[in-house]
Structure formats: structure tokens, C-alpha cells
Amino acid sequence: MVKFLALSDIHGKLSSLQLIAEKVLAGQKIDAITVSGDISHYGDRAEVRRILDALGSLSLPVFFVLGNCDPREASDLSTEVAIQLETRCEVCGGLLLTGAGGSTPTPFGTTFERDEEEIVSRIRANLGSCGAESPGLYLLVHNPPYGTSLDRTAFGRHVGSRRLRELIEAISPAAVQCGHIHEAAGVERIGGTVVFNPGPAMKGNYALVEVGAGGVTVSIGRA
């Protein structure tokens, strides 16, 4: 079994990361930290690096993608312990991890927006370069798929990606971690795939994800 501490939408708030770490990391074994974007709040590359270094100080592997409030020019940024999945695959606990950052266009003109076809093409390109198939695929994306509670805004509008949903339906990953819609924390299923949004870490939200022979279990929490 593998167990992840899943985070999203940190928006540069290191004090919230500290609270989450104090609550979650004491007394239980976590294999890695996964982050589904918005690491900074319109920060530059150095700001993203600063937050990744703070995550790295927790002495766990970190796997991440960027969000729409991160700088697109940081798409090639990784550190010794924090691995960006934008152009690569990694294996952890028998799972194959990959993903794509940014979001589909918003009304706000944020710093890392891209067409949904680009998001899906990036994931497919990564999977095409991974080689041998893994027993389970774990996707990290910032943008949620269309048509679940995870992409519904406070105004009731679904703003997720239809093409991402089609990809999930086609390849059936074990789990998909997203973010972006702060008010839409929760767990859903698309076919046999568990899809979840941990909620904004800037407000102390997180998820614990366990993947084993019995499937995928996600528990949403708050520090």
C-alpha cells in the first residue's frame, strides 16, 4: 500500500503548510506529498522554488504540477526532492505518476492558462514516453474534469474540462487529483476512477490518499 498527503492551492501560505504538517505527519507513515497546483499566488519562479523547498524540508518526496496562478515559465522547475510531472513520469509505491499543470482559460487572465486540448495532449505525450505499463496510474492536474461536484463553482456552474473527462473515461487511471475550484473539495468517481479535490491548502485543507489491493481511499481533512 502507498499513502500520499495530497495538497492543492497553497497560494504561498507557508503557515498553513506548517499546520497541516504538524497535524498529519506526526505518528503516521506517509510515502510522498502530491501537489496539484497553485503553489504560489502569482509568484515568480523563485517564489515557487521557495515553497517547494519548504515542502522538501518535510523529508518526503514531492510530486507536483503547477496551477493557473503559478508562472508558466516555471514549467521545467524541479528540485532534488520536488519533482514536477509536467513532462515526465515517476514511479512511487508501484504507481505511475504523471500530469499536466495550468488551467483552461478563466475570466481573470491568470498566469498559466492553456487550451484543454493542450492539457490532454501533454498527458498523452507523457504516457507515451513512460515505457512499460504500471499496475496503477495516478494523474496530477490542476484543472478538474467536467461534470462533477469538483468543477462546480459557488454559482453552480460547471467549469471543468470536457476533454480531460474524456481522457479519464478512455484510460481509467486509478486516481486523479485536481484542484482549482476552492469551494469544491470532495471525492467523486468517473467510471472506475477516483477523482478528488483536496481543497485549498491555504485554508488548511488536505487529503490522505491510500492506494492498495483494495483500491483507492481518499479522506479529506482540515488542519
Predicted confidence band of residue 135 (pLDDT cuts 50, 70, 90) = low
Distance between CA 209 and CA 196 in Å, rounded? 10
Query: Is pLDDT at 132 greater than 80 in this prediction?
Result: no
Q: What is the pLDDT of residue 130?
A: 86
CB 40 within 8 A of CB 48: yes
Distance between CA 163 and CA 172 in Å, rounded? 14
Q: What is the pLDDT of residue 48?
A: 98
Domain residues for the domain of 184 are 2-222
CB 98 within 8 A of CB 139: yes
Number of structural domains (the chain) is 1
Distance between CA 84 and CA 99 in Å, rounded? 9
Distance between CA 163 and CA 48 in Å, rounded? 28
109-130 pLDDT, tens digit per residue, is: 999 999 999 999 999 999 999 8
Task: List the CATH number of the domain containing 188.
Answer: 3.60.21.10
Query: Is pLDDT at 134 greater than 60 in this prediction?
Result: no
CB 1 within 8 A of CB 212: yes
The average pLDDT across 63-85 equals 98
Distance between CA 79 and CA 53 in Å, rounded? 8
Q: What is the pLDDT of residue 121?
A: 98
- The 8-class DSSP code of residue 67 comes to -
Distance between CA 30 and CA 23 in Å, rounded? 12
Q: What is the pLDDT of residue 7?
A: 99
